[in-house]
């Protein structure tokens, strides 16, 4: 199996033992690194299956936030606060404020800030050390937590999707071995009926250089298009599919814990808290434009994907530091990891963390255009 380096049966709890497959080599972390975050190393539960996700009512926390954000961004409350915009259109960095200590009013204002700026990067955080239950509790404030249908996870919690690339597991690189670049812009699991809103990414181990993450503003990408193209796209839906991901996982010997779906989402999506229009297509999961001939769909998606991938004047690249946590809104951004470091040296080439992904509303486009799917 392409991604599995060692197999072990273990007990997730005393009452409900699970067969877990390790996606790392224990000796590297015990003997070479004496790894502090071994409880967060990637495993696969090879038994548990989940039914299709059910519809739910979603209320965006940004809708009740004070637009001036006086509780989150006030230096009167936090004298050490430092807030800078990383680029004019996307990305904000915050220092001097702990995510783990935010109250609900501050979280509401944060939700709105993330929607407005696309991605908000917090530095010098204690978030990775507060424990799994508190990490999940923080995520749940913004929406139900998503369990990835095929990805590796943390031993004690399937809601913590594992991000891992090191010398003992190069699966994420090998999947792109026939491409000139390892970058691949996507919006997390956009094929879901109610796809993600806010994602929270914490890296536990970062290379000394490299391993950055880049985000692209889908609101700016939409705004750059000419009015005739905007008008065309506002009336169209595109198919987002989880089938290639599931088929690839099965081909590589991995377990699929939820059967894949495909959903037709509006190409132009309206954010409920800001009212902004954003493109909602991405090279990772968008497969075709509904209602167009094959050649028309391919040509238009090629244009949009090129626009998203190479629009460096509406992208931001973030370097990870010790204690960095990034939060972004999948409804108005796409993102990619940048795997440019040497994964073959354990002390220098380990990029490991976990992602908490919250689900949001059923996408709604211009003039009430909604997502649809076959039951």
Q: What residues are labeled active site?
A: 186, 188, 335, 355
Taking the C-alpha atoms of residue 168 and residue 107, their distance in angstroms, rounded to an integer, is 37
Q: What span, in angstroms and rounded, lies between the C-alpha atoms of 57 and 63?
A: 14
| Cα–Cα distance measured from residue 263 to residue 281, given in angstroms and rounded to the nearest whole number | 12
Listed in sequence order, the residues at least 6 apart from 112 whose beta carbon sits closer than 8 Å to its beta carbon are: 61, 62, 65, 67, 69, 273, 274
Tokens of 274: 């800001």
DSSP category for residue 65: S
Alpha-helix residue ranges (DSSP H) falling in the chain = 26-27, 104-117, 132-140, 171-174, 218-224, 227-233, 243-251, 294-310
| DSSP 8-state assignment for residue 285 | T
Q: Decide: 216 and 90 in contact? Cβ < 8 Å.
A: yes
| Number of neighbours of residue 75 by Cβ within 10 angstroms | 11
* Rg of the chain on CA atoms, in Å: 20
Angle CA 28–355–85, to nearest 5: 115
Exposure string for 102-141, b = 16+ CB within 10 A, e = fewer: beeebbbbbbbbbbbbbbbbbbebebbebebeebeebbee
- Nearest-5° Cα angle at 148, 101 to 130: 20
Main-chain phi, psi angles of 19, to 5 degrees: -85, 115
């Amino acid at each position: 199996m392409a991604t599995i380096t060692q197999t072990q049966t273990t007990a997730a709890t005393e009452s409900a033992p699970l067969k877990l497959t390790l996606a790392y080599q224990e000796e590297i972390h015990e003997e070479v690194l004496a790894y502090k975050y071994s409880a967060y190393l990637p495993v696969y539960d090879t038994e548990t299956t989940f039914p299709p996700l059910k519809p739910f009512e979603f209320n965006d926390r940004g809708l009740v936030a004070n637009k001036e954000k006086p509780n989150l961004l006030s230096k009167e409350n936090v004298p050490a606060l430092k807030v800078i915009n990383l680029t004019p259109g996307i990305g904000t960095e915050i220092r001097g404020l702990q995510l783990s200590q935010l109250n609900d009013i501050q979280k509401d204002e944060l939700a709105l800030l993330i929607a407005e700026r696309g991605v908000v990067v917090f530095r010098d955080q204690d978030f990775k050390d507060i424990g799994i239950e508190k990490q999940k509790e923080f995520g749940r404030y913004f929406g139900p937590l998503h369990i990835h249908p095929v990805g590796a996870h943390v031993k004690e919690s399937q809601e913590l999707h594992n991000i891992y690339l090191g010398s003992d597991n190069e699966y994420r690189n090998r999947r792109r071995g026939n491409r000139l670049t390892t970058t691949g812009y996507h919006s997390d699991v956009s094929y879901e009926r109610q796809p993600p809103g806010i994602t929270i990414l914490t890296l536990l181990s970062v290379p000394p250089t490299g391993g950055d993450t880049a985000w692209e503003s889908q609101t700016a990408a939409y705004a750059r298009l000419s009015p005739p193209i905007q008008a065309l796209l506002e009336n169209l839906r595109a198919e987002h599919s989880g089938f290639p991901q599931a088929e690839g996982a099965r081909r590589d010997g991995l377990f699929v814990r939820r059967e894949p779906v495909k959903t037709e989402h509006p190409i132009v999506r309206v954010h409920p808290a800001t009212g902004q229009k954003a493109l909602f297509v991405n090279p990772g999961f968008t497969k075709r434009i509904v209602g167009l001939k094959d050649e028309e769909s391919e040509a238009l998606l090629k244009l949009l994907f090129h626009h998203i991938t190479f629009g460096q004047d509406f992208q931001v690249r973030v370097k990870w530091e010790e204690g960095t946590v990034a939060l972004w809104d999948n409804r108005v951004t796409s993102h990619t990891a940048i795997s440019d470091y040497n994964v073959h040296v354990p002390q220098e080439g380990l990029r490991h963390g976990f992602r908490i992904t919250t689900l949001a509303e059923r996408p709604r486009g211009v003039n009430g255009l909604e997502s649809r799917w076959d039951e």
